Amino acid sequence: MAVMMMWEAIRRAHDEEMARDPLVIAMGEDIGVAGGTYKATQGLYDKYGPERVIDTPISENSFTGVGIGASFLGVRPIIEIMSVNFAWLALDQIVNTAAKVRYMSGGQLQAPVVIRSPGGTAHQLGAQHSARMEKVFMGIAGLRVVTPSNPRQAYGLLKSAVRCDDPVFINEHELMYNLKGEVPDEEYFHPLEGSEVAREGRDVTLFGYNISVHWCLQAAETLAREDGIQAEVVDLYALSPLDREGIRRSVAKTHRAVVVEEAEAPVGVGAEVMAVLNEECFFELDAPPVRVSAAMVPIPYNRRLEKAAIPNPQRVVEAVRRLLGR
């Protein structure tokens, strides 16, 4: 196993897939000469040249559409949208073209395109640069949505996405690019469907994805140390399709559930998990499931207000204690 940061794992996946297949290209704002805002394409411009590592204009709808169109002809683009906040501008191409073309063409066309984009609440970037759009993308039929919580997943998911014939949206978190973790030395492909048990437990299941997995793990440590509560942590790295069987399996063991997300609660990932719990796990539950999510406000720029608006491990601990009557 090699220990590397998440951005290094993403860069490695780019490099391996571009070396293997000349039809794999990368495109996005500042990904070439500058090596990417978060260094995920560092050095690839010098290695593969400007025809395969393409610095695009500041026009998300345009270059996303160009990449999707190229994928119709057999090219496999990895499109980086510098911030998921700007993906709003490309939704027409993603929703009405990439996600629908196979269905609407009766299988005559496909869009094997990867769109990766960082999002989430970083440090004082303000409301217009703190979007958490995963709930938007997971509601689009025909689009796969994955979100890594560690470098191993980031590496393996990107490699699998590049070789997938479906369009894949990879939701990365801005605060996790310098997160260190083990990545297999040999080539590794992570499944694009499913979930992972990040920590075994028996008393309650904590469901999270990307950064909220780490809040859940920290909360589980506190609960075990201070309360003797053994919390299971389930990493929902695949948001579309959602691993309904994995959700059922864990709740059948613990009989209690807390869903943790950085986004606002309405019409979110947590709401969808709650629907699964209600529809498919109702008689397994010993208590109503609980959501821990962001306040329903635009993310403030002020640091104290920003921290107050989003969840943290202590809020997860408090939710579990209330759920278990502690």
Q: What is the CB neighbour count within 10 angstroms for residue 166?
A: 17
Q: Give residue-wise pLDDT tens across range 96-144.
A: 999 999 999 999 999 999 999 999 998 898 888 998 999 999 999 999 9
Task: Identify whether 14 is a catalytic site residue.
Answer: no
> What CA–CA distances, in Å, run from 325 to 218, 251, 285, 314, 320?
20, 18, 15, 16, 8
In whole angstroms, what is the distance from residue 69 CA to residue 62 CA?
11
326 pLDDT band (50/70/90 cuts)?
confident
In the chain, what are the domain boundaries?
A: 2-183, 196-323
In whole angstroms, what is the distance from residue 168 CA to residue 98 CA?
9
The owner of tokens 């919580």 is 149
Under 8 Å CB-to-CB from 245, ≥6 apart: which residues?
Answer: none
CB 147 within 8 A of CB 115: no
Q: Which of 16, 129, 280, 284 is catalytic?
A: 129
Share of residues in the chain with pLDDT > 70 (%): 100
Q: Which of 8, 17, 29, 60 is catalytic?
A: 60
Instruction: With a cut of 90, say whether residue 18 has pLDDT above it.
Output: yes
Q: Give residue-wise pLDDT tens across range 282-310.
A: 999 999 999 999 999 999 999 999 999 99
The second-level CATH assignment, the architecture, of 196-323 is: 3-Layer(aba) Sandwich (3.40)
In whole angstroms, what is the distance from residue 321 CA to residue 241 CA?
31
CATH topology of domain 2-183: Rossmann fold (3.40.50)
Quote the DSSP letter at residue 56.
P
Task: Identify whether 190 is a catalytic site residue.
Answer: no
Please give the pLDDT value at position 301: 95
Mean pLDDT of the chain: 97
Secondary structure (DSSP) of 17-65 = HHHH-TTEEEEETT-STT--TTSTTTTHHHHH-TTTEEEPPS-HHHHHH
